[in-house]
Chain A
Amino acid sequence: MNGSGWNYSDKVKEHFFHPQNILESDEKEYDADGVGYVGSPACGDMMKVFIKVKDDRIDEMKWQTFGCASAIGSTSMLSVMVSRDGGMRLDEAWKITPEMIIDELGGLPANKIHCSVLGDKALREAIKDYYRKTGQEDRIPDDDKSRTICNCLDISEEDIRMEVLEGVKDFSSLQERTKIGTVCGQCVDDAKTLVNFYAGKYYSEEIYTGNNKKDTDHA
């Protein structure tokens, strides 16, 4: 056990010890308008998000997890963020990033950031599910907006950024997880630059406190 993993903020501890909006009733009984599900127990992280929608706003977000303290703390925080002040608009909720959750939590230990990315992913899946169920597929944003780095395997910059948030810190582990650059190899230099950039951004300090800078200033 690495002792540095214990540097949780008071806010994280508060949400971990008293998690908000957990779905304790039967899933069918709850009858959510949208359900999203990411991760797997084999990876040690799994998150399920249930939303109820009213007037295009999130009326309620409930969740369940097989996850560690940061996964519990950050998803509890997320559920509060999207449901306060009359509920967040769906298009706004779609744009929530792990950085925004980490900001609200007052920081997370750097090696725990990968645990906090599941909640917002699962929320987007739940919103997608709602859009599909209500015939609004056209509202599902185009995930390919981020520029493509590896043409052979269709891996975008955003995909690389997400891998880094999930714990990848160097090119070899990025390649191990995504197989990037194993076909034609042309993207290797670009991918190395990006993984180093994002690893530097997220892991250069022991506690990543989030920031408001744009992600584009590395070019």
Chain B
Amino acid sequence: MIYLDNSATTPLHPKVKEKIIESLEYYGNPSSMHASGRRVRAYVEQSRREVADFFNCSPEEIIFTAGASEANNTVLKSATTCCAFCNESRGHIITTNIEHPSVMNTLKCLQQQHVDVTYVKVNKKGVVDPADVEAAIRPDTVMISVMYVNNEIGTIQPVDEIAAVAAKHHIAIHTDAVQAIGKLPVNLQKLPVDFLSLSGHKIYAPKGVGVLFKRMSAKKICPLITGGHQEKSMRAGTENTIGIIAIGEAFRQLRAEMDEGNKRIKMLRDKLEDGIKSDLDGVIINGDTQRRACNISNMSFKGIEGESILLRLDMHGIAVSTGSACSTGSLEPSYVITALDVDPSVAHSSIRFSLGRETTEEEIGKTIEAVTETVNFLRRMSPLT
């Protein structure tokens, strides 16, 4: 199989896999005082240091969660509540109109509890203007949440500039950085965000583990899951020790590999786009081709529908994803692509290719051929071409 859906999830890094197999033996509870518990505690804390080293932050600022959706929920729900008044949400949150569903739907839920939300619109390339964010600030604004890299089109948001705006107005800032980690250097000494969410399974660690970075100076958070004192009382429940050990290893590998790896991935991504565009007319690259993560290419193929393309590529053994309505089970195509102010048919025709560390040049060559064959086949039966 040619796997070009690394933004959906990644295969395990072989070193991470080794570490998981090894750690299956460590059953101790890190909260236990005895040797078995102390040993696992040491591994968990080692993992926390690996993550902190990657971000140039303090290990105390790293909270392990079950994933980025949990981290996003924790931050956003905390922003408008506090433990003493948990049933009473209030305030105003600013975000964009192309956030991940774990931000969008959490905010919709908060809106039903009387929190106001402003969804700042991105431009035609999918980039939000920091001036628009600043203009949306109100006296009761409690948080700004802007994703670092969009999951469908790979567009990079000016999170640094938006963080400066937030600091100027003394408003907390959160970034959902799931798709940025491992693709862009993120130095939290330089990037002044208060909160950052990420997920393990997008960086060659397993599903079910993620990280919430909470800057020491940031407002206390209200745990989503209450119970024991794990994760400094910010996330109760016995730690997912195997997942935590795995994500630490994934970060260790990222530090070693990402600079060189990303150069190679970008070269392959550009080769894919150049190859397809030279073979086919009517190809649109969605999003900002410059301000973009190195591994994502979102293309629309004029006159044909995305799910048909996806399933025919699947027949060729190539895995991609689409923003067409037929893939979502709803009647609406991707809200990210439609936010780019394009004709809705462009969203219905969109395919996301997302490359990873295992992608090879040979696979890209085969993909160009298969895409060309598929698009030509489907266009022959299209009334629009």
Question: What CA separation (Å) do A17 and B326 show in the bound complex?
Answer: 17
Question: Is B305 an interface position by the 8 A CB rule?
Answer: yes
Flag if B348 contacts A22 (CB, 8 Å): no
28 A-B pairs with CB atoms under 8 Å apart are A1-B327, A5-B326, A16-B308, A17-B312, A23-B381, A41-B343, A41-B344, A41-B345, A41-B384, A44-B326, A44-B333, A45-B305, A46-B383, A46-B384, A64-B381, A64-B383, A65-B383, A66-B304, A66-B348, A66-B382, A68-B306, A68-B307, A68-B324, A70-B326, A72-B308, A72-B381, A111-B329, A115-B326
Residues from chain A with Cβ under 8 Å of B382 in the complex: 64-66
Flag if A16 contacts B311 (CB, 8 Å): yes
Flag if A5 contacts B329 (CB, 8 Å): yes
Flag if A67 contacts B305 (CB, 8 Å): yes
Question: What CA separation (Å) do A44 and B348 show in the bound complex?
Answer: 6
Question: Is A167 an interface position by the 8 A CB rule?
Answer: yes
- What string of 1s and 0s marks CB contacts (under 8 Å) between B330-345 and chain A? 1101000000000111
Of the candidates A19, A45, A69, the one whose C-beta lies within 8 Å of that of B381 is: A19
Question: Looking across the interface, which residue of chain B has its beta carbon closest to that of A17?
Answer: B315
Residues from chain A with Cβ under 8 Å of B327 in the complex: 1-2, 5
Given A1-B321, A42-B344, A115-B326, CB of A48 within 8 Å of CB of B383: yes
Question: Is B325 an interface position by the 8 A CB rule?
Answer: yes
Question: What CA separation (Å) do A66 and B333 show in the bound complex?
Answer: 14
Question: What CA separation (Å) do A30 and B238 show in the bound complex?
Answer: 70
Residues from chain A with Cβ under 8 Å of B333 in the complex: 44
Which residues in window 10-68 of A have CB below 8 A to B?
Answer: 16-17, 19, 22-24, 37, 41-48, 63-68
Question: Looking across the interface, which residue of chain B has its beta carbon closest to that of A8?
Answer: B311
- What string of 1s and 0s marks CB contacts (under 8 Å) between B230-264 and chain A? 00000000000000000000000000000000000
5 pairs of A and B residues whose beta carbons are closest in the complex: A68-B326, A41-B345, A68-B307, A44-B348, A64-B383
B63 CB to closest chain A CB (Å) equals: 30
A216 CB to closest chain B CB (Å) equals: 28
Residues from chain A with Cβ under 8 Å of B307 in the complex: 5, 68-69
Flag if B329 contacts A44 (CB, 8 Å): no
Flag if B383 contacts A44 (CB, 8 Å): no
Count of A-B residue pairs with CB < 8 Å: 88
Flag if B344 contacts A44 (CB, 8 Å): yes
B320 CB to closest chain A CB (Å) equals: 9
Question: What CA separation (Å) do A114 and B331 show in the bound complex?
Answer: 9
Residues from chain B with Cβ under 8 Å of A47 in the complex: 383
Residues from chain B with Cβ under 8 Å of A46 in the complex: 383-384
Residues of B within 8 A of A (CB): 8, 303-308, 310-312, 315, 321-322, 324-331, 333, 343-345, 348, 380-384
Question: Looking across the interface, which residue of chain B has its beta carbon closest to that of A111?
Answer: B329
Flag if B322 contacts A1 (CB, 8 Å): yes
Question: Is A4 an interface position by the 8 A CB rule?
Answer: yes
Question: Is A121 an interface position by the 8 A CB rule?
Answer: no
Question: What CA separation (Å) do A24 and B306 show in the bound complex?
Answer: 20
Question: What CA separation (Å) do A47 and B330 show in the bound complex?
Answer: 19
Residues from chain A with Cβ under 8 Å of B326 in the complex: 5, 44, 68-70, 112, 115
Question: What CA separation (Å) do A85 and B49 show in the bound complex?
Answer: 73
Residues from chain B with Cβ under 8 Å of A44 in the complex: 305, 324-326, 331, 333, 344-345, 348
Question: What CA separation (Å) do A16 and B329 show in the bound complex?
Answer: 19
B168 CB to closest chain A CB (Å) equals: 40
B82 CB to closest chain A CB (Å) equals: 34
Question: Looking across the interface, which residue of chain A has its beta carbon closest to that of B304?
Answer: A66
B381 CB to closest chain A CB (Å) equals: 4
Question: What CA separation (Å) do A69 and B344 show in the bound complex?
Answer: 19
Flag if A66 contacts B329 (CB, 8 Å): no
Residues from chain A with Cβ under 8 Å of B344 in the complex: 41-44
Question: Looking across the interface, which residue of chain B has its beta carbon closest to that of A22?
Answer: B381
Question: Looking across the interface, which residue of chain B has its beta carbon closest to that of A168?
Answer: B331
- What string of 1s and 0s marks CB contacts (under 8 Å) between A63-83 and chain B? 111111111100000000000
A86 CB to closest chain B CB (Å) equals: 26
Question: What CA separation (Å) do A135 and B305 show in the bound complex?
Answer: 37
Question: Looking across the interface, which residue of chain A has its beta carbon closest to that of B320?
Answer: A1
Given A1-B322, A5-B329, A65-B382, CB of A41 within 8 Å of CB of B348: yes
Question: What CA separation (Å) do A63 and B305 show in the bound complex?
Answer: 16
Residues from chain B with Cβ under 8 Å of A43 in the complex: 331, 344
